[in-house]
């Protein structure tokens, strides 16, 4: 994937080329046609965070503040350097302040996350 930079022209604003030598990039593939690089892609391991909690707003914040450093340290010890969470728009406005207090940031401005299940793709 040495020549992936040549494919980046026109990739759009705010595109950040990742370090493809990082160990979290576990799949790297290229498509060539007539000896020319047409496309390259990579898959990076990333953790998805889930939260279930009850009680008062104060109880919830205290629980999140206590749990987060332990969970992030555990992820880091496994080599995971990023955690994402999916927040429904219906609760995001009530939850955003707390997430920011805990150091979370919304996704990149102008970019939307998409997901795809990869179970048995090759057999379909």
pLDDT in tens, 46-103: 899 999 999 999 999 999 999 999 999 999 999 898 899 998 888 888 889 999 999 9
Q: Where are the domains of the chain?
A: 6-44, 47-101
pLDDT in tens, 2-19: 455 555 555 566 667 788
Going by C-alpha positions, the residue among 74, 70, 80 that lies closest to residue 102 is 70
Angle at CA of residue 107, ends 112 and 79, nearest 5°? 115
Q: Full-prediction pTM beyond 0.75?
A: no
């Amino acid at each position: 994937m040495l020549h992936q930079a040549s494919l980046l022209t026109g990739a759009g604003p705010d595109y950040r080329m990742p370090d493809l030598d990082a160990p979290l990039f576990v799949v790297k593939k290229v498509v060539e046609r007539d000896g020319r690089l047409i496309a390259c892609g990579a898959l990076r391991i990333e953790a998805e965070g889930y939260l279930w909690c009850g009680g008062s707003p104060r109880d919830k914040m205290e629980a999140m503040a206590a749990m987060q450093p332990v969970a992030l340290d555990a992820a880091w010890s496994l080599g995971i350097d990023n955690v994402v969470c999916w927040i429904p728009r219906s609760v995001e406005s009530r939850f955003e302040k707390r997430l920011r207090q805990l150091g979370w940031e919304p996704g990149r401005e102008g970019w939307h996350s998409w997901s795809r299940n990869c179970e048995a793709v090759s057999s379909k």
